[in-house]
């Protein structure tokens, strides 16, 4: 083991930098003077860590609130010296581990006895650094924490956007599938459509995707063994790059879905996509409510008809009473016509809410896209494709479009302008 001198630390260049990311915040507990000085020098010389505080007691009294003294945000790394009082050090590590599980705990000690190392690891320490601390040792341990943090932040975190009809036939499946193919093809976004209908889902049909074996509810029943490989067997793929988890094709016997299982499944799916669009069946069933609670936004797809608008108003009322924040609701007015019997202003007044998006009434284009199992993305000059492309941008799918503009393709070109 190479002891790290202060000079070494000052002159050292970090071998593994988490370039572009914030330094890791570090606190220390009861470090002896020499280790403390080494740590300070390391922090000053290497941009990998920022030394936030150095405590001189173990904070293990019952009255000590771990979260409070750790500070907010909680540190990335806590270095605990085990030599002054091993029992208190282990207790402190346990408290930190349970109060702030994301904080990595390093034990430091002069004692290399295996049972002591095991005891420290059992208290929640992920590293055991022997004194005098070696430069390589410290650097590698910090790099491992940095690597894990990078992995966490680089994971996909999809926006989950749900779509529900004000009544049957308002266009939910058309909007979800066409928006999905656009996000996947024109914006190169990792996009998944989930058809949450308990039976007779249309999304697979509208996309012309026939080769699939399993449906969403079978996936939900298998959440306990859900991993990347299992997920692959549930995905159906459209030529645009869009992926789909279909609904059951026929009328199946009703399934008992455990509360929380739908949300748990989406938590897993979120880490793999940029966008997840959910085709919800009508009504406010337990599963729909779970989805609405779990998603970023609920898009209520309506048309300019009294009965549909009345349903939107009622459902928003109900959801507000169920403490769903109103800012999550979005009104999508489908089959929009400039000269409609009910004006946009009247709709907004009735619903007490702005119309979030208007999709033009273009029956021929929609039917063509559905019948061909194709995508409106190919009809770039249609008003429908323009509207859905602009909706994709509104939903945050800007980066690729801007990249495309840089490549000379031009976003306006994408919109057929
Ligand atoms: N923007 C549009 N312009 C014209 N016609 C449309 C538009 N959007 C959807 N349609 C038509 O409306 C009909 C119903 O569409 P869709 O099946 O997508 O509705 P839905 O809300 O999913 O219905 P369901 O309640 O049966 O699930 C289809 O014939 C479709 O072609
Ligand atoms: Mg539908």
pTM value surpassing 0.75: no
| Residue 397 CA, ligand 2 centroid: distance in Å | 24
pLDDT at 411 exceeding the cut of 70: no
Which atom in ligand 1 lies closest to the alpha carbon of residue 363? 4
Ligand 1: lining residues by beta carbon, under 6 Å: 165, 168-174, 202, 334-335, 359, 361-363, 366-367, 370, 384
| Residue to mutate, 170, 171, 361, ligand 1, most ligand atoms under 8 Å from C-beta | 171
Mean pLDDT of the chain: 83
Residue with the smallest CA separation from ligand 1 atom 5 is: 363
pLDDT at residue 20 above 60? no
Confidence of residue 193 (pLDDT cuts 50, 70, 90): very high
> How far apart are the CA of 367 and the centre of ligand 1, in A?
9
Tell me: cis bond preceding 207? Omega within 30 of 0 counts. Answer: no
The CA distance from 380 to 234, in Å, is 31
Find the length of the chain. 417
Query: Whole-angstrom distance between the N-terminal and C-terminal Cα of the chain?
Result: 66
pLDDT, average across residues 348-365: 93
Which comes out higher in pLDDT, residue 363 or 172? 172
Q: Which of 276, 264, 337 is nearest to 305 (CA)?
A: 337
- Report which of 395, 415, 398 is spatially closest to residue 330, judged by C-alpha positions: 395
Of 18, 312, 291, 339, whose CA–CA distance to 147 is shortest? Answer: 18
Coil, strand or helix: which one is 402?
A: helix
pLDDT at 14 over 50: no
- Name the residue with higher pLDDT: 271 or 372: 271
Q: Give the up-direction half-sphere exposure of residue 224: CA atoms within 13 A in the CB hemisphere.
A: 2
Half-sphere exposure of residue 257: CA atoms within 13 angstroms, side-chain side: 24
Residue predicted with more confidence, 80 or 240: 80
Over residues 75-115, the pLDDT tens digits come to: 999 999 999 999 999 999 998 988 787 889 999 999 999 99
Q: Which two tokens stand for residue 241?
A: 């790059």
């Amino acid at each position: 083991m190479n002891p790290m001198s202060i000079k070494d630390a000052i002159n050292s260049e970090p071998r593994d930098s988490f370039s572009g990311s914030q330094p890791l915040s570090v606190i220390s507990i009861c470090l002896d003077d020499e280790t403390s000085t080494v740590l300070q020098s390391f922090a000053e010389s290497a941009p990998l860590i920022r030394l936030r505080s150095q405590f001189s007691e173990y904070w293990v009294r019952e009255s000590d609130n771990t979260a409070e003294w750790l500070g907010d945000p909680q540190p990335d790394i806590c270095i605990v010296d085990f030599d002054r009082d091993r029992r208190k050090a282990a207790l402190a590590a346990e408290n930190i581990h349970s109060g702030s599980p994301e904080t990595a705990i390093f034990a430091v000690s002069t004692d290399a006895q295996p049972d002591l190392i095991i005891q420290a690891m059992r208290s929640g320490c992920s590293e055991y650094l022997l004194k005098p601390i070696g430069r390589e040792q410290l650097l590698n341990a910090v790099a491992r924490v940095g690597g894990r943090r990078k992995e966490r932040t680089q994971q996909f975190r999809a926006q989950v956007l749900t779509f529900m009809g004000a009544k049957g036939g308002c266009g939910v499946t058309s909007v979800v599938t066409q928006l999905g193919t656009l996000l996947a093809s024109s914006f190169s976004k990792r996009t998944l459509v989930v058809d949450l209908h308990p039976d007779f889902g249309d999304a697979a049909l509208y996309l012309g995707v026939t080769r699939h074996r399993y449906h969403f509810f079978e996936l939900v029943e298998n959440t306990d063994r859900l991993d990347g490989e299992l997920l692959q067997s549930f995905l159906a793929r459209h030529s645009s790059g869009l992926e789909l988890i279909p609904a059951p094709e026929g009328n199946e016997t009703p399934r008992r879905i455990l509360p929380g299982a739908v949300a748990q499944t989406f938590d897993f799916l979120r880490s793999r996509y940029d966008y997840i669009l959910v085709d919800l069946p009508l009504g406010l069933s337990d599963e729909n409510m779970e989805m609405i609670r779990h998603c970023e936004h609920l898009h209520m797809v309506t048309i300019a008809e009294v009965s549909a608008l009345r349903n939107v108003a009622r459902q928003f009322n109900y959801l507000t009473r169920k403490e769903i924040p109103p800012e999550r609701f979005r009104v999508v007015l489908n089959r929009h016509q400039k000269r409609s019997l009910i004006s946009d202003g009247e709709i907004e007044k009735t619903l007490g809410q702005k119309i979030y998006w208007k999709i033009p009434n273009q029956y021929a284009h929609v039917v063509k896209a559905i019948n061909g199992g194709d995508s409106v993305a190919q009809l770039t000059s249609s008003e429908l494709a323009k509207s859905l492309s602009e909706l994709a941008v509104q939903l945050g799918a800007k980066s690729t479009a801007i990249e495309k503009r840089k490549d000379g393709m031009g976003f306006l070109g994408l919109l057929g302008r």
